Every structure is written in C-alpha cells, then in structure tokens.
Amino acid sequence: MEIEKNPRNSETGRFLSSILSSLSPPFSSSSTMTILLVLLLLFFNVFESCSAVSGAVSFTPEDNILIDCGAGSRPELPDGREFKTDKEASDYLKTKNDVRVSVSAHVPSPIYLNAKVFPEEATYSFSLKRPGYHWVRLHFFALKDNRYDLRRSTFSVTANRYALLHNFKINNNSIPILKEYLLNMTDPTFTLKFEPMNNSFAFINAIEVVSAPDSLIADEGTSLLSVDRFSGLTGHGYQVVYRVNMGGPLITSKNDTLGRTWIPDAAFLEDKNLAKEASTSVNSIRYPLAVTPLIAPAIVYSTLTEMADVHVPANVSWKFDVDKAFDYLLRLHFCDIVSKALNDLYFNVYINAKMAISGLDLSSLSGSRLAVPYYKDIVVNASFLGDGIKVQVGPLNHINWKSNAILNGLEVMKMSNSADSLDGEHGVVGGGSELSHNDTVIVIGFAMALGAFVGLGAMVYKWRKRPQDWHKRNSFSNWLLPLHVGHNNIPLNKGSGSQKSNLCSGLGRRFTLAELQEATNNFDSSAIIGVGGFGNVYLGTIGEGTRVAVKRGNPQSEQGINEFQTELQMLSKLRHRHLVSLIGYCKENDEMILVYEYMSNGPYRDHLYGKNLPPLSWKQRLQICIGAARGLHYLHTGTAQGIIHRDVKTTNILLDDAFVAKVADFGLSKDTPMGQTHISTAVKGSFGYLDPEYFRSQQLTEKSDVYSFGVVLLETLCARPAINPQLPREQVNLADWARQWKRKGLLEKVVDPHIAGSINPESMKKFANAAEKCLAEDGVDRPSMGDVLWNLEYALQLQEAFTEGKMEDESKPSEASTASQPSILVSSASPPIDNNQEDNKGPGEVQAIDDHSENAMFAQFQSLNGR
C-alpha cells in the first residue's frame, strides 16, 4: 500500500483508498490486488497531470446558445466558440421590425462586425434544457452607421422576471461593452426582451446564454455587517460588474473553461507603491476538494498582488465604482503561492474599512499545504457602500515584525433587488416607469411573494403560461395549493364511490381573528416557526391546549375573497393520515389565515442532516418514506381530480409527535433568516428536485412528483442535501452522484454512516432500486407512487426480517437472503407497518418492483384506497 503513503494529493488519496477498501473483499488474492493497484496508480497519474495543466477541467454546458446578431457568416474566434449567424438564430427572434448593421473592419473582435437594430420591441426566446444558473452575456459595440447612430440608442432589456438594463445608453463608440449576468433559470422558456425607450431604438451585437455549473453559486455566504452567515444567495440574479485577476495578465474566454474574462488589477489599485505582483507556475496549483478550476482557473490562482514590503505594514487597497443602489456579492480568491513555509501568512481583509476576514490563515484552511486555492463569498449591503467598494488586505494590527497579505482574484457581483431588478428600481412586473411610490411597495411585496413561490419549488410554475399570468399565480393560496390535473395521466381508481366517503365537504372551522390573536399571543414574533414572502407561520394553542400552525397571509397580497373561498373548499377536501390537515381558517378584516395541525417534529430533512438531531434508524426512515409515499399516492389517485403536489422535498414532509410523516405543501423552514423577508424561503435545493423531463417538455404529470420523491429517497439513504455546491463538482447534485455509485454497484459507499452498519443489504438494494427507477430520465419509465409504495414496504419487510432473523438465530440463513431473488413474492402474515393506521388493509403479499404489472397492482390499490 505504498501508494497511500505518497498520494499525489489528498483528494486522490482519499478516493483511492475508498476504491481500494471497497474492492478488497472480492479481490483477496494479493497478485490481483497488485495489478489493480498499478492500474489505478497509472490511471490517476495520468488523470492528475491532465487536470493540473492550467486547470483544464472540462465542463460541457447543456445550454450553450451563442448568437452573433446580424452576422451573415460565423465569426472565427480565437477561443473556438461557434456563434450562430443571424439566419441560424432567426427562429429565436420575434419582432415586427429589425435592421442589420455591419462594418467591414476595425473592431476588437469579429463578433462586433455586425449588430441588430430594433426600432420596435424584440424578443429572443430560447428553450432551455436545464434549470439553474446560466450566464447571460450581452455584447454591445456602437458601430458607425449612416441610418442609426448607435451611440444615441436608449433601451431596456429584461430576461424573464429580471430587469437587466433600464434606460440603457451606450454613449460611446470606442470600446465594446459586455454586460454579463448570472441568472437562476426556473422557467424552461427564457425570453430576452429588448424595448426601445424615448422614441429611440435598441441594438445588440452578440448574445450568449450558457449553463453554469451548479457549484458556482452556493446558497450561503458571509454578510459583511454581522460577519454572519447569509443564506438565500441562490434566490438572486447577479450581474458580474468586475472580475479581476490580481497580479496577473488579462485572461480571456480562451483560457477559462467557462468563457469568463478576468482583467488585471493595476487600474484599481489605490497606491501602486504599496503593492507588488508575484506568480508561480500554473502546474503548482493544488485544487482541494471544495474548489475546482470552474470556480476560477489555475491561472488566476497562480498570480497575486501582495504587500510591497513585508517590513512596512500597510494595506494593499483596491477601489471599485459601483451602482450604490444595490447589494453586492464579493467573491475573494486566495492561494498562498508566496510563503516559503506553512503558517507564515496571516492577514486581515477589509471591505469598506470594515473587517471582513480577521486573521485569515490559509495554511489551516488548505489542509496544511501551500498553493491551495480558497475562496470566500461576502455580501455587502448597499448601506455600506459609501463611495464605492474598497477591498483591502493588510497585516494584523499587532504584528510588527514581518508580515504579508495577498489577494489572487476578486469578483464583484451586483445582486438583484427585491423587484428582481439589476438596473434601477423597477422590476419587470408592473411595467416600470409609471409606478408611483405606493405602487413600488406592492411590486416589492409581489416580488417577495413570487420569491417565496419560486422558493417553494421552481417546478410549481405552469410553464406554458406567460408572465402576465403571474398575478394570478401569485395569490395567497397558490403556494398552498397543488395543481389539479386531468384524468388522462393518472391511473384513476374506479372505486369512486368509496373515495367519496373520504371527502369532507366542510370548510373546517371558522376562527375569529380574536381567537387566533389569543392563540398566538397576538402574533408574537417569538411564536414564529416559519417565514416566507407570503407572511409568517406561528405556533398557536387553541381550545384545551391543542397546538396548531397558524399561517397568516401577508396583508399586502391582493387576494380575491372568492378565490380564497374556492381554495379553502378544495383544501378541506384533502383528508388523509399522511397529509398535513387544515383545521380551519379566518377571514376577517382583510386577514387571510389558515390553521393547520401542528407537526411537532418539524421537517423530515432536519432529522437527516444539518440540525444535529439524533439520527433516525433505517426502519424509521423507511416508515417515514412509506408514509410520505402514501400521502402522495392518495393525492395522485385518491381524489376525483388527481392532484400533483409539484414540490415534493424533505422540507415538505413533516413529522408529528410520533414521527408519522405527513406531506405538506409548504415548508415550515426554520432556518429562514428572520427579518430577511426579501430572501425567498427555500430556493436552495429546489433545483435538485426538479424533474428534468418536466423542465424540457413543460408537461406536468404526476411522474414529476415521483422524480422528486426519488431525490427524497436518496437523501434518506445518504443524509445529504439534494444540491450541495460546497462539494466537488461531481458530487454537487445528489441524484447524479448517487446514480454513479449505484451504477458502479458501490452504493454502500455513500450510505449515511449512522445507519450503514444496521441496514440489511437487500433492503438497501430494494430501496436504492426504487429510488433509481423514480429518477428515470423519462416519466414513462418511472414507477407510479403506488409501485414505489409497494417497494418501500417490501424494503421494510426485508429489514424487519433481517433484524428478527439476527435476533432469533445467527446461524440460520436469514430470510433476507432468500428474498434476494428479485422476482419472488414474499408472503408475510404480519402487516408491515403502521399497525394503528386506518388504511392498513396492508398487502398480504408484496410484489417486487422488477416484475410488477399494473393489473396485479390494481386490486391492491383498491384495497389501499377503499377505506
């Protein structure tokens, strides 16, 4: 095992040892082992030296739409990227009037040879293949033209819900202007709209819409104000205003896999005499697990600006002009390529004279190695901007011997405001300039509600509706209500007579406002258990101490009484042991309040990770998944209309006193920062649950819930979030990552260590198979919730048999091993779960997923539903 002693880096070492340990049981012969080791070693050496070369990690963007507007032929670019010609892009464009403008030479890049002029509104619409962050780059260069003086053009640009440019003027024809955005796309149709203003016209030279890696924007940063965690970053759109390579050359799209441009820092240095440059070979940069060349290429980390003289304590300072109406996300890149030894470098980082990082110790952050990249995200509130952004690195105050301070790279990103604008106060909704101040409040309230709505699940949009319909969907109840679907997609149970009896026609109890005020101590802030753009959720006590969750709609949200009534009726029809039930409502003084049963154990997710709660056993997890699957199965098939939940995730599965799982369509997310209502509640993770087929096809079926539930099953098994951008790239997306391990047959490697020892391998296999099927690319290949339910119950039986078998007799072959043939029917006399449950006519037999047939299941469904 010499290899492990001397790995090229710890990442490889860890990966190697994990592979080795997983392989060692079957490969007990030592010669096989040796050959394998040699092969692995060769493989990793090759792999490593490749990835070390200027950080050549490849990322293939799923969406990669590049358009050279107005071009008759494809421009030849040094970075090899292929831009579409005007003709090739004509399908994207809708406008009544457009004009091509061209020059023949003297432009900085061939993409500026042509432009498209729009005297009237014009839209480019793109169908995206993948949700999540995308680069949107708009290239402007005011070409000389006899008919149109492009310098005088004035226009606005919007991108779906984001206002990108408002009343934009170029005023210049000597340098090209690049406006670069990073937008979280939640809608598969991306529409870029150019609107001429003031009787002028709009123009554009080139457009890029390119997928960015999930790992690029993490949900959490540090806020400068309180030097505290700032979450909700993924709820914002960004404009990259500066991207600077400290102490190094201009880096163009040619040298950055993600097509980014990094400019040198000299122009921003406040006092050049206090700074000097340093560099090393790109090959010496050692990326740790948490940073990849996609965050920044090795060329950025291999150069830096440092203090001019280690014996003269002075800050190195950079100044940036910014629009002071916005908050900014600063990403600072560090990599210690100057120290001769570890633990030599400690320094402070200040932003606008406030301490941003105190005593930064790169040695300890980088696993005691030099030349390891590290980055930090810091949110700077607009109120701290003063006359721009000033970043300083300097020595610790008390050190007067020798000291140094460094910075390798810096990105300054403008954050979209609460109106989803990145330019001016006006958002897309509400139409901009006619707004009075009063209206602005409403627009902001609206944007908040919309944010919460998006947060509750990017997938809840009815994609095909156009943005004008947002007003409707933004209503108080839309975030509460699952969407009804026609019968066509859902295997409806014919026993509708028996279903009727499940339905309660009442509206639940009507509460007076006074009652609810009393119940919640007059909506005391200490009773808040959840926050969102819609308003707050309070813990209340009614009657003889019955605890309830009281959701109070934001009075700002305009809500038709009729709509409220209809939806109440709808909600009160949903009654199931595994759905969180509505107890009543209050409609008084414009208040809209819904009262739900209180789920004392909170979201399932909190019991899996992140909250340090005692880990649930495998059996408990199975029972929770089974409960949630029952709730969803009921939604899909148990009501006359058939209901698609649209936002299945572990925060929407709540647990009561007895850990009975109930599906809720709202997240009582406790980690939403209080008082930051403009941050949408739970955008994090949502993308990890989104059905790719739904995103592509825009057709919503109940199989989208099945997909999301598959992600829930993986979270159950692995106890980690659906998306975790902190992890190395290949691990960011739980579904992708777990599927890879499953394919390799090594899923046990990623099982939550808390339960790994106690899971029956067969039970895990059954469970993992079900999860994998749920995640099938095409909806038709996914099982129904009913199928999933059977398989989970089967997995539970296997687990119980295993535990019993273990207790009864260790020497006998366990039942579990008999059950390992997938096609057999396991008979079990005892009902598998939930003995006290009303719908537990439970399966007398459980059929394996691999050979299920719809018909065989059908009778069982009826007995399940016909309570």
Rounded Cα gap, residues 634 and 578, in angstroms: 9
* 380 DSSP β-pair partners: 328
- Complex with ligand NAG: residue 361 or 425, whichever CB lies closer: 361
Q: Work out which of 299, 456, 490, 668 binds ligand NAG, going by CB under 6 A.
A: 299
* Window 323-352: residues binding ligand NAG (CB under 6 A): 350
| Closest CB 313 distance from ligand NAG, rounded Å | 4
Choices 82-90, 308-316, 360-368, 490-498; region in contact with ligand NAG by CB under 6 A: 308-316
Q: Work out which of 251, 329, 415, 738 binds ligand NAG, going by CB under 6 A.
A: 251
C-alpha distances out from residue 139 to 110, 115, 436, 510, Å: 12, 10, 33, 57
Beta strands of 141-261 (E only): which ranges?
Answer: 154-159, 162-169, 177-185, 189-196, 202-204, 206-211, 220-223, 228-231, 238-245
C-alpha distances out from residue 866 to 289, 502, 578, 841, Å: 52, 9, 16, 9
Q: Are strands 591-597 and 582-588 parallel, antiparallel or unpaired?
A: antiparallel
| Site of tokens 């539930």 | 709
Burial 559-598 (b: 16+ CB within 10 A, else e): beeeebeebbebbbbbebbbbbbbbbbbbeeeebbbbbbb
Does the protein bind ligand NAG through residue 78 (CB under 6 A)? Answer: no
Q: How many residues bind ligand NAG (CB under 6 A)?
A: 13
- Complex with ligand NAG: residue 310 or 314, whichever CB lies closer: 314
- Complex with ligand NAG: residue 17 or 352, whichever CB lies closer: 352
| Closest CB 323 distance from ligand NAG, rounded Å | 22
Q: Catalytic residue at 420?
A: no
Q: How many residues does the chain have?
A: 867
* Window 382-441: residues binding ligand NAG (CB under 6 A): 392, 394-395
Does the protein bind ligand NAG through residue 293 (CB under 6 A)? Answer: no
- Complex with ligand NAG: residue 255 or 760, whichever CB lies closer: 255
The answer to whether residues 614 and 647 touch, using CB atoms and an 8 Å cutoff, is: no
Count of CB atoms situated within 10 Å of the CB of 822:
13
| Closest CB 130 distance from ligand NAG, rounded Å | 27
| Closest CB 251 distance from ligand NAG, rounded Å | 6
- Complex with ligand NAG: residue 254 or 487, whichever CB lies closer: 254
Does the protein bind ligand NAG through residue 215 (CB under 6 A)? Answer: no
- Complex with ligand NAG: residue 254 or 464, whichever CB lies closer: 254
- Long-range contacts of residues 541-547, Cβ cutoff 8 Å, at least 24 apart: 542/511, 542/515, 542/595, 547/598, 547/600
The answer to whether residues 379 and 419 touch, using CB atoms and an 8 Å cutoff, is: no
Rounded Cα gap, residues 317 and 307, in angstroms: 10
| Closest CB 342 distance from ligand NAG, rounded Å | 24
* Window 510-549: residues binding ligand NAG (CB under 6 A): none
Choices 310-318, 400-408, 423-431, 709-717; region in contact with ligand NAG by CB under 6 A: 310-318
Choices 164-172, 246-254, 453-461, 547-555; region in contact with ligand NAG by CB under 6 A: 246-254
Which residue from 207, 204, 108 is spatially nearest to 153, judged by alpha carbons?
Answer: 204
- Complex with ligand NAG: residue 378 or 542, whichever CB lies closer: 378
Question: Both ends of the chain: CA-CA distance in Å?
Answer: 61
Q: What mask, x for binding ligand NAG by CB under 6 A, covers residues 101 to 130?
A: ------------------------------
| Closest CB 364 distance from ligand NAG, rounded Å | 22
Query: What CA dihedral angle connects 742, 745, 747 and 748, to 10 degrees?
Result: 170
Count of CB atoms situated within 10 Å of the CB of 770:
25
- Complex with ligand NAG: residue 274 or 382, whichever CB lies closer: 274
| Site of tokens 């949630």 | 628
* 208 DSSP β-pair partners: 66, 137
Q: What mask, x for binding ligand NAG by CB under 6 A, covers residues 700 to 719?
A: --------------------
Q: Which token pair is 523?
A: 């909506």
Rounded Cα gap, residues 703 and 778, in angstroms: 9
Choices 161-169, 251-259, 613-621, 820-828; region in contact with ligand NAG by CB under 6 A: 251-259
C-alpha distances out from residue 527 to 277, 541, 550, Å: 55, 10, 10
- Complex with ligand NAG: residue 70 or 313, whichever CB lies closer: 313
Does the protein bind ligand NAG through residue 315 (CB under 6 A)? Answer: yes
The one catalytic residue among 377, 647, 665, 834: 647
Q: Work out which of 78, 108, 249, 555 binds ligand NAG, going by CB under 6 A.
A: 249
Query: What CA dihedral angle connects 28, 33, 36 and 37, to 10 degrees?
Result: 130
551 is in an annotated binding site: yes
| Closest CB 306 distance from ligand NAG, rounded Å | 14
Which residue from 218, 65, 236 is spatially nearest to 161, judged by alpha carbons?
Answer: 236
Q: Which token pair is 555?
A: 């009075």
| Closest CB 352 distance from ligand NAG, rounded Å | 8
Rounded Cα gap, residues 180 and 238, in angstroms: 8
| Closest CB 56 distance from ligand NAG, rounded Å | 9
DSSP letters spanning 3-31? HHHS-SSHHHHHHHHHHHHHHTTT--SHH
Does the protein bind ligand NAG through residue 314 (CB under 6 A)? Answer: yes
Choices 249-257, 258-266, 559-567, 794-802; region in contact with ligand NAG by CB under 6 A: 249-257
- Complex with ligand NAG: residue 250 or 824, whichever CB lies closer: 250
* 231 DSSP β-pair partners: 220
- Helix axes 618-637 and 761-774, enclosed angle (nearest 10): 30
Q: Work out which of 35, 175, 325, 353 binds ligand NAG, going by CB under 6 A.
A: 353
The answer to whether residues 195 and 156 touch, using CB atoms and an 8 Å cutoff, is: yes
| Closest CB 350 distance from ligand NAG, rounded Å | 4
Q: Work out which of 114, 184, 215, 255 binds ligand NAG, going by CB under 6 A.
A: 255
| Closest CB 332 distance from ligand NAG, rounded Å | 15
C-alpha distances out from residue 100 to 20, 96, 116, 147, 148, Å: 61, 14, 5, 11, 11
C-alpha distances out from residue 156 to 167, 299, 586, Å: 5, 36, 43
Choices 147-155, 307-315, 424-432, 652-660; region in contact with ligand NAG by CB under 6 A: 307-315
Q: Work out which of 247, 313, 535, 688 binds ligand NAG, going by CB under 6 A.
A: 313
- Complex with ligand NAG: residue 299 or 798, whichever CB lies closer: 299
| Closest CB 254 distance from ligand NAG, rounded Å | 6
- Complex with ligand NAG: residue 259 or 692, whichever CB lies closer: 259
| Site of tokens 């779960």 | 833
Residue ranges of alpha helices (H) inside 456-507 are 470-473, 496-500
Choices 121-129, 309-317, 440-448, 581-589; region in contact with ligand NAG by CB under 6 A: 309-317
Q: Environment class of residue 447 by beta-carbon count within 10 Å: exposed (0-12), middle (13-18) or buried (19+)?
A: buried
The answer to whether residues 559 and 480 touch, using CB atoms and an 8 Å cutoff, is: no
Q: Which residues are catalytic?
A: 647
Residues in contact with ligand NAG by CB under 6 A are: 249, 251, 254-255, 299, 313-315, 350, 353, 392, 394-395
**Sequence ranges of the binding site:** 551
**Sequence ranges of the binding site for ATP:** 551
